[in-house]
Amino acid sequence: MSEFYNSNDFYERPSKRFKYECELIQFDLGYLTKDGEILILENKYVDIEYNDKMYKPILHFQTINYAKIYIICNLNNNIDNDYITDIIDINKGYTLNEIFNYFIKGIFSIGLLQYFDEDTNKGIRIIKDIHDLYHESNSEIKLHYTTNRQTKGNVAWRSITWDLFLEFIPQIIN
């Protein structure tokens, strides 16, 4: 043993979370099917070559009454895919701020996993209806994150049961 070792000097990790610590979020992995849908892989730590264009980083960010909504990376045709690949790495953790900033800029696509398309017994979960944030099918989601609840047409909040980006929703100012 080292001469500096003292059996009474054990480091005990703090049990409280400090205010300056931020939680890092890690993306899961999905497989792009020939139909343009995403098959969610059960093991997100699959040892694959990430540069394969068939594997896409995905992240569940919202749950509504009948479905889960996912962010899908590297599908937006308006953005250079090489740039996105450099941003999102499935082996790295991201702050909620980083993810939301990419999301609101329209860098990610959005897809829907409806509960009737999910067969958890067989391990099959497929994300469908994939579009970018500024597509008309995502107008409610866009309004939800860019305007407050009093804005006409902002009705998405009525069916949301869980929201990863809850702290970014504009609040009503009196």
pLDDT tens-digit readout, 118-173: 665 566 788 999 998 889 999 889 888 888 888 887 887 888 899 999 998 887 65
Q: Is residue 15 part of a domain?
A: no
Q: Is residue 12 part of a domain?
A: no
Q: Is residue 3 part of a domain?
A: no
Q: Is residue 137 part of a domain?
A: yes
| pLDDT score of 66 | 86
Q: Is residue 11 part of a domain?
A: no
Query: What is the count of structural domains for the chain?
Result: 1
Q: What is the pLDDT of residues 5-61, one digit of tens each?
A: 444 444 444 444 445 556 788 888 888 888 889 988 765 454 555 455 678 889 999
Bridge-based pairing of strands 67-72 and 160-163 is: unpaired
pTM of the model: 0.74
Q: Is residue 160 part of a domain?
A: yes
Q: Is residue 82 part of a domain?
A: yes
Query: Which has more pLDDT, 1 or 100?
Result: 100
Q: Is residue 9 part of a domain?
A: no
Q: Please give the residue range of the domain that contains residue 70.
A: 25-168
With a cut of 70, say whether residue 98 has pLDDT above it: yes
